[in-house]
Amino acid sequence: MMYREGQLVRLENTNELRTIKNLVTIGNKTIYVCDDNVWYDESLLYPHDMKFQIKDSMNEKHTLSDYGKRDDVINEMVTFLTEDEENFKKFLNIVENYDIDFDYI
């Protein structure tokens, strides 16, 4: 087994982040049930931070889509920013102090 319950993973083709909720072993194969209630073969998942490690090793900038599916990231960001003024201040701090490229959303 490569992944364990509670671990954050990415879906191979969509870049979406999922959390492993359960493992099902059928014969010598492990199937991963994620928080979207879909069963995934191990070949369809990869560690959530692999994308960051590759970009860091190549000295490439991080983009918002590195944090998950674009629409999900934007929706979560809007919700976070509109909850209260303190969250908006935290966001401004991130924008000022971290190297995130917002051009490639």
- Residues in the chain predicted with pLDDT less than 50, given as ranges, are 105
pLDDT at 99: 65
Structural domains in the chain plus CATH codes: 1-48 (2.30.30.390), 50-105 (no CATH)
Q: Is the pTM of this model over 0.85?
A: no
pLDDT at 84: 82
Q: Is the Cα torsion angle 63, 19, 33, 74 positive or negative in sign?
A: negative
